[in-house]
Structure 1
C-alpha cells in the first residue's frame, strides 16, 4: 500500500511523492496523520546535510491524527481515537529519569521509539511506545491544528517552569520566532510584568506584540544591550532567554541580565561552535547560566493540556495551514518571518 510523504533527498531537496505505508506491529497501531506542525528544528534538518548522506528520510514530529488500524494484540486504543503523539519517550529506569530529568533519558533505544516521520499521511506506532507513554487523547471539540501545538509548547512550558518565570519578572527573549512568541504568551500567563523581545526581523517583532510583548528591539538598528539597560534603569532584566541558533546572542545575553540574574541558553547552536563569554562578568555579577532542552512527561502532558485549553490563543499562533505538497512554501514563510506557525495537512 502506498501513501503520500515529503521525502528529503538532501539539503533543500524535499519531494512530495508516493512511498510505502509504514508497517505497524501486532501490538501497535497505524495513525492517520491529520495535522503536523513545521518546527524550526525540522527546517534546520531539511536545509542541511542532517542525515550525512543517509537519504531519503521523512522528518516531522509535531504529530496528531486518528487511529486508522490497530494490531490484534493492541488493547489501549480503538479505531477512530484522536491522538497526540509526543515524540519524546523515556525509560523511567536510568539515573537521569530517576533523578527527575527524564528529558535526558540515556536509554537510546527507548528514545527512538517515536520522534519523526510526520510529514506523511500515516505513521506506525509501536506497542512499546504505547506502553511507555507520551500519547494523549484529543477531545472531540479541539481542532487537530490546536492539538499539534502541544509539542512545540512543551519545551517552552518546561523552560519557564524550571526557571520560575513569574511575578514581577522583567524578561528578555532573544528570538521572535514561534518559540519566542510561545515564551512571551506563556510568560504573561505566569505573571511576568515586562516582556522585552529582541530580533533582527521587523515583521516578526511586529507580530510578536500580539502575544504580550511589551517592548520590541531590532538589534540591527540599535544596541540591544544598551536598550535593555535603558528599559530597566541600568539594572538589567531578571531573566534573559537566548532562543536563537546563534552563538552571538548567547554572548550578548549575559550583558543584559541584572546582578544575581539568570540566563537561559534555549536555542541550540551549530555543532562544534563555541560561544565567547565574559567570565569575569559572570563571576562578579553572580550570574547564573542554565541550558535548557526538552521536558519531562509531567510537563509534556500539562503543556498539551494548556495548548488545547481556552487559555491559550491557538488561532493567533497558527498563521498558515497548507497541504503537505506546499511544505517548501511553509519553510519559506517561516524563514522569512511571514508565518508564525505553519501546520501541514497530509490529506488536503
Structure 2
C-alpha cells in the first residue's frame, strides 16, 4: 500500500509499504480521506519519535470496510466508517464519572489513534469492543465526515466552558481550531466573537465563521491586543477567553482580556517543559477562573460527529484544500502559512 512515512523531522516520504494483515477479530479499513491536523504537523516537523522511525501519523480517519476477520460480526465489507482515535475503558473512576477523556487505562488508550496517512489501516477487535467507531450517514462525503475528529475537542471545550447566549468570546488563534470555535460558539448563541492572530489573511478567512471583530496582534507590543479587547468590550473584558495557540505568551495575555469573574481556557498545548508566568494577584482579585482543556468524552465525540455530518454545519467552508497523499508536504506548508484552513488528503488519488 501507499503511505506517508516519517523518517525524521521534516522528512516525510510517500512510499509503498506492506498492507497490514486483517486481525481475526477485527477489520481492514480502506482509508478514503484523512485530515491533516495541527498536531500531525507538530509531530512531523519535530523529533516526535525520538529516533524511532519510520512511523505513520494521521488520526482524522474515515473510510470503508475492505476486509473483516472471521471472528468479527459487528461490521461488514462496504460500510462507511469514522474512526475516532480516542479509546476509553468505561470502567475506571474517570470513565464512570462521565470523564472518559481522562481514562486511566493506558493500554486501552493506545488501541487506536494514528496510522491514517496510508491507504489501509487495521482495526483490532479490542478497539471495536471499546467503541468510538461511527457509521457515516448516507449522502455525507468522506471529507465532511473527517471533520468529526478535530471538531470533537472544540465541541467538548465549548460545552464544558458553557459558552452560550449572550457571551462575548475572545479566541486567540485563527487556525482551523479557532475557526471551529467561532462557528460552534455562534451555534451555541454567543453574541460577539473577537478573534486575535498575527496572520491577517487567516483573520480575514475567519470572518465567514461568525467572527464579529478581528485583531491583528503585534509580537513587539503584546499590550496592543489587550487594549483592543478592552476597547471592544467597553473596558470590561470578555466573558470567556480561549487561548488556542501553542504559545505561552497568549496564555499570559488572556488573563488581561477577561472580565472580572470571567473564564480563561487554555486549549492549545505549549512546548513541553516550557513555563507560563501568570499574574496570580490578578487572578485572585478579579475572581478569574482558569480551565485547561484536552480531549472529549465518548458522548461528546458522538454528538460532535453528528454535528459535523449534519446539514447545519458548513463543512465545505472549512475544507479549503483536497490533495492527494503524495502532496502531504505541500499540505503542511499550506497550513503553516495560513493559506489553507483545513487540508484533507486522499490516499487513492
TM-score of the aligned structures, taking structure 1 as reference length: 0.99
Alignment of 1:45-194 (within 5 A): 45-194=43-192
Counterparts of 1:281-296 in structure 2, within 5 Å, are: 281-296=282-297
1: CA distance, partners of 2:158 / 2:120 = 33
Residues 101-159 of structure 1: CA deviation (Å, up to 9, x unaligned):
11011111000110000000000000111110000000120000000000000000000
Whole-angstrom distance in 1 between the partners of 2:315 and 2:50: 36
Does residue 1:314 correspond to 2:315, yes or no? yes
Q: What's the counterpart of residue 272 of structure 2? A: 271
1:25: Cα distance to partner? 1.3
Partner of 2:209: 211
**1:220-239 correspondence runs (5 A):** 220=218, 223-239=224-240
Q: Higher mean Cα deviation, 95-104 or 300-309?
A: 95-104
Distance 1:249 1:21 in 2: 43
Aligned equivalents of 2:57, 2:84: Cα separation in 1: 14
Equivalent position SS for 2:307: helix
Deviations 1:48-85 (A, max 9, x none): 00000000000000000000000011000000000000
Q: Post-superposition shift, 1:100?
A: 1.6
The 5 A counterparts of 1:30-45 are 30-45=28-43
Structure 1 moving runs of 4+ over 2 Å: none
Offset at residue 24 of structure 1 (A): 2.6
| Residue 300 of structure 1: aligned partner | 301
Counting only pairs closer than 5 Å after superposition, residues 321-340 of structure 1 correspond to structure 2 as 321-340=322-341
Gaps of 5+ in 1: none
Consecutive unaligned residues in structure 2, runs of 5 or more: none
- For residues 78 and 244 of structure 2, the distance between their equivalents in structure 1, rounded to whole angstroms, comes to 38
- CA distance in 2 between counterparts of 1:147 and 1:97 reads 26
SS in structure 1 at match of 2:17: strand
- Give the Cα–Cα distance (whole angstroms) in 2 for the partners of residues 283 and 51 of structure 1: 40
State the partner residue of 1:23. 21
Deviation at 1:330, TM superposition (A): 0.2
Report how far residue 98 of structure 1 moved.
1.5
> Residue 346 of structure 2 corresponds to which residue in structure 1?
345
Tell me which residue corresponds to 2:195: 197
Q: Secondary structure at the match of 1:20?
A: coil
CA separation in 2, counterparts of 1:189 and 1:337? 24
Superposed CA offset, 1:185-226 (max 9, x none): 000000000000000001100000000000000112871100
Distance 1:27 1:96 in 2: 28
- The CA RMSD measured in Å over matched residues stands at 0.7
How far, CA to CA, are the matches of 1:105 and 1:278 in structure 2? 32
Give, in angstroms, the shift of residue 236 of structure 1.
0.2
- Whole-angstrom distance in 1 between the partners of 2:267 and 2:249: 13
Say which is worse superposed, 112-121 or 22-31, in terms of deviation. Answer: 22-31
Q: Describe the SS at the equivalent of 1:343.
A: strand
Which piece of structure 1 moves more, 276-285 or 99-108? 99-108
Q: Once the 2 structures are TM-superposed, how far is the Cα of residue 96 of structure 1 from its aligned partner?
A: 1.5
Size of the alignment, in residue pairs? 346
Partner-residue secondary structure (3-state), 2:30: strand
